[in-house]
A and B are shown apart, each in its own frame.
Chain A
Amino acid sequence: MSTGGAIFKLVAGFCLCSLVWPVAAEMTLINDDALSAVSGQGGIYLSGDVSINELGGPINNSYFGSCSDAGKKCGARLAFRLKETGGWMVFDDIKGSFAFEGLTLGMRTIDSGFAGDGALFNGDVVELGLPNTVRYNDVRFKLSASNMARPTDPGFQQTDMFAIEMQGGVIMEGNLLVFPTGTP
């Protein structure tokens, strides 16, 4: 081996060590107290597109997903009782789709702002950042009262009180802050 090669290897080795050394020097142990003060700062960013019984599903012909056939209910149905032996409150024919972009979920410490309330509050909240616009596509449902849980039950009678239909962009801006109240 030549002397030049040996010197090169020595210098290269030294350089490597000098790269590694400062990194090792800055590593310090965190004790339990310091560690307990560390909190995750991450959040979640959500985009969504939800379809429920829209247009009867992927196939929409005279057999599959036909909403005009009374025997094949198209919308979802949610029925609940308010009395042990009473009739049923019903959200019926729930269908449609909605989409949103940019719903955020994270933690936030509030200790200032809110015209003085922030400093008094001085705590953590779960912050749900609303998506600014939610796009509804033919969202419908009916509020009804029924004597049976299911339309196929014998003697079924139902009174539809009103139906809601929504379409297009709904402006929904701001942050929803959720936190525990009271002193358990």
Chain B
Amino acid sequence: MRSLSGLFSQIITHLPATVLGVCLASNALAELKGLSESEMSEIDGAGVGVVLENFKFSHGTDQPGAGGNNARVFKIGGIKSTSGQDVDITVNRLYISGANSNYGDNLTAVNLGRLINPWRIDVVNGNDIGIAEKAVLEFAAPAKVSSAQGYDCLSTGATAGTGTCSSRPAATNYIGERADIGMQVNVGIGADSSGNINIHAKSAVVDGSYLRLWGDDARKQMVAQFKLNFYSDELAIDVCAQDGSSCDSRIYMSDFVMELALGNQLQPLFLDVDGGGNFVIDIASIPQPSAGQIGADGLRASSNNQTWDFYNAYYTNPEYRSNFSIGNISVGSKNFGSARIQGVLIQHLSIRTKDL
């Protein structure tokens, strides 16, 4: 039986040709022209753009009715605690709404993605993104744009030319492309269950996020590069009693920024399942330079130039680093000021699930 990574790399090798074939076939006969070899080599598979217009999503779990049956159920289960008890996560509410939803009470519509900068599913030429000689399957959110055209990622009143995000906030005559997202969950361990935990993100933007998948020849394995950007004007967390009668004071995090980079061109993320049926995620260490390649003073002049350039690119590329920052944390009427973690470079990571 053929492994998925093998099949996958075959598919992505052939996909651009298929896309090209379909594109050519759909044109009128009169418009068919011969392409020279050099023209053909310039062709990159065009992707598919996706925009959700006037979108609204909501699901959850209702309180049991008179017959003990729930009208709606949304549960995540199958997890066991260390003492062997079942852990049930009940999602009471999950919503995606437009602006001013008042923490999901008033669902409005929102556009996700822009017609001129949509969500994208694409097979891209690896040479253009630093993954040499590979066709790369990419799922991408709207791309970041230059700060001359873009909108501030956090401000709900941002205007053009204030930042690098492409998605626009809601305005008086437009619903905008930034969604209010929220969920209420309840964690039950055995017969005990927690209060309801509410998480709401206002005016959330994920511009510049992507998932890239390709095949690694040497390891014969599927590898990935994952970038998750998440910007929100306000992230609010609170805990309420199960019947919703009383809530603790909300924790507000204003100007929430997360730019998470898992895997990069030099250290991709390896996905696998081991012989014991456990899921494994690896980011391999970057190789050490061999002796004498990097000079004792660490400067380029005393080092092998090619090796020095490689490590310099690895250490200085901001795309490889994760950043987290919060403008202000407040609980009740107390302000705790800002928090910031910047420039986290994941040098090695190995996560393995284990059956209990």
Binding site for B on A (CB under 8 A): 36, 80-89, 110, 114-115, 117-118, 120-121, 125, 130, 142, 144-147, 149, 157-184
Contacts and interface: CB of A to CB of B under 8 A. Distances in A.
Nearest to B60: A168
Given A179-B49, A182-B46, A82 B109 contact: no
Given A158-B277, A162-B76, A175 B28 contact: no
A178 B50 contact: yes
A83 B48 contact: no
Given A110-B115, A179-B48, A182-B47, A145 B58 contact: no
B300 interface: no
A51 B20 CA distance: 36
Contacts, number: 194
Contacts of A180: 23, 46-49
Nearest to B356: A159
A84 B59 contact: no
Contacts of A164: 75-77
B46 A181 contact: yes
A168 B48 contact: no
A177 B58 CA distance: 20
B220 A171 contact: no
Contacts of B47: 180-182
Given A167-B70, A167-B72, A82 B115 contact: no
B211 to A, nearest CB: 14
Contacts of A158: 277
| Chief secondary structure at chain A's binding surface | strand
Contact of A84 (B3, B273, B277): B3
Interface stretch (B116-124, B195-203, B242-250): B116-124
Contacts of A121: 115-116
Contacts of A179: 48-49, 51, 115, 118
A3 B42 CA distance: 84
Interface in B266-291: 271-279
A176 B49 CA distance: 10
Given A80-B4, A157-B277, A178 B48 contact: yes
